[in-house]
Structure 1
Amino acid sequence: MSSYLVTGASRGLGFEFLRQLSNDPASTVIGFSRNKKATEEKVKAELNRENVHIVEADPSDYAALKRAVEETSRLTGGTLDYIIANAALVSEYSEFKSIGTLGEDPEILEKDIHDSIQTNVLGTIHLFNLFIPLLRKGSAKKAIAISTGMADVELIRNYDVGIAGPYALSKAALNVAVAKFSAQYRKEGILFMSISPGFVDTGKTPQPTEEELKGIQAMGAAFATYAPNFTGPISSEESAKAVLSVIKKASVENGDGGSFVSHFGDKQWL
C-alpha cells in the first residue's frame, strides 16, 4: 500500500494523476486543491473512489500548506511515500510573449516574474520542507517536481524559444532547488527530481491576440525543427502514464537524485 500527494489536483494533469494512482484501491491518494468542495464534487462524479482524498491548500500560501500537513498525516498514518508537486502558475499574460516585449511594461513584467517565482519555486520549496518528516517515514521516499522542457537552456538557445520567459525562469530555478534538496537528502535515501510532462493538452483554448499568435507560430516552427515527428500536444492521460513510469523506475541508487528529465526519462522534451 502506497501513499501519494499530488498538488494542483483540481484539473488537467493533476486530476489525471489522481485518476491513475487511485486505480489501485490499496493506495491512499491525496490531492491538494484551492477549491476543496468543487474538486471533491469532480472526484465523486468522475472517479467515485474512496481512496481519493482532497485537502484544501494554496501552493503559494505557507500557512495553508502547513495546515495541510496535519490533515495529510492523519490520512496516511503519519507517513508519505510520494509527493508529486504539480501545481504551477502559467501566466496567460506572458505565455506567448517574448522577454523583450514584456519589458515594454516593467511593472507588469516584475509582477509576472514575482508571481511565477512565488508559486512555482517558493511554493514547492515550502511544500518539500514541510513534508520531509512524513517522507522520511515512508517506504518509497520520492519527491517529484513537475517542470518543463522550456527551462532547458540548450533548447532555448539552439531553437530560439523566446516565449514564456517568467514561467521558464521560475521552472529553471525550481530545477536548481530540486537539485539542492537532493544534495542534502540523498544520503537519507530520499529521491528528489524534476520531470517535464511533455507538451500537454490542458484543454484551455483562449483566443490569442495577433502578437500571441506570432509567438505560437514561432514556437511551432521551433518544435518542428527540434522534433520532426512531433504531431502536437499529448493528452493528460498519456503524459501522466509516462511520468509515473519514469517515477517508478527512478531511484537514488540509479543516480537519479537531483536530475531533470523528460517524460521519456531523458532530455528529449517532445
Structure 2
Amino acid sequence: MNTKRRAAVAIGALVAPLLAVSLPASSASAHGWVTLPTSRQEQCAEGVVQCGEIKYEPQSVEGPKGLHSCSGGHSEFAELDDDSKGWQVTPVGTTATFTWHNTARHATLNWQYFIGGQKIAEFDGHGQQPPADLSQQVDFGGFTGRQKVLAVWNIADTANAFYSCVDVNIGGTGGGGDGGGTGGDPGTCTAPAWSETAVYTGGETVSYDDHNWRAKWWVTGDKPGTTGEWGVWEDLGACAAA
C-alpha cells in the first residue's frame, strides 16, 4: 500500500466514528398531528387562526408521555393552550373519525383520547409503524356540547408522545371562539362551491346544498352528501348562501 493510500485509510478510520456520533438517528424523527376533525395546529397551519411558530411545524407538538396540554409543554407553542383564541369548532355526532397525518412513522405504543382529563378511547399500536394517514372512530362516551378533545400518540421506543387538541361540538352546530353554542342561525357558506370536475385532496373544504363539507382524502366526481358517514365527504354543518 503506498503512502497516500495509507494516509487516506487512517484519516477515514478517525473520521467515521465522529460522523457516527454527530449524525442524527432517523428513528428519533417521529412527527404527526390530527388533521380531521380540524385540530388547533391544523388551523394554525392553514392560517385560519394566527398562532405564531406552530404554523410552520404542526407536526412537532412533542413532549413527555402523560401530559394533558395542547402544547406538549412547549413554551413556543403555548398559544395552543389558549382556549379563548377563537378556534373553529367542528360539529360532530356521538362519534367522530379522527385522522392523524404522520410525517415520520414511528413505532407506536398506543393512541389515546381525553376530554377534561377523562380517557374516552384508546387504540393499541402493537409496537408497529402506522401508515402516513391513520383514521380511528372515537366514541365520545356520553359527553355533549362543546368539548376540547386531547388526542395523544404515544411512541413505543421513546419516553415521548405527540399531542393534538381538537375542538368539537357534540350533537350541536359549529362555532368560533365565542363558546360554540348549540343554537343560532348557520354561518355563511364561505368555502368554494363544489365542482363535479375538480380534484380535491384531504382537508380541502367546499360548500354544497347549504352545507360545508371537508374531503377526508383525494376525490373527484363524488357528490357531497351522497357518500355516507364512512365516505369521503365529512359534513361540517349547515351554512347559508352568501
Could you state the TM-score of these two structures normalised by the residue count of structure 2? 0.26
Could you state the TM-score of these two structures normalised by the residue count of structure 1? 0.24
Structure number, greater radius of gyration: 2
Give the number of the structure whose residues are more often helix, by fraction: 1
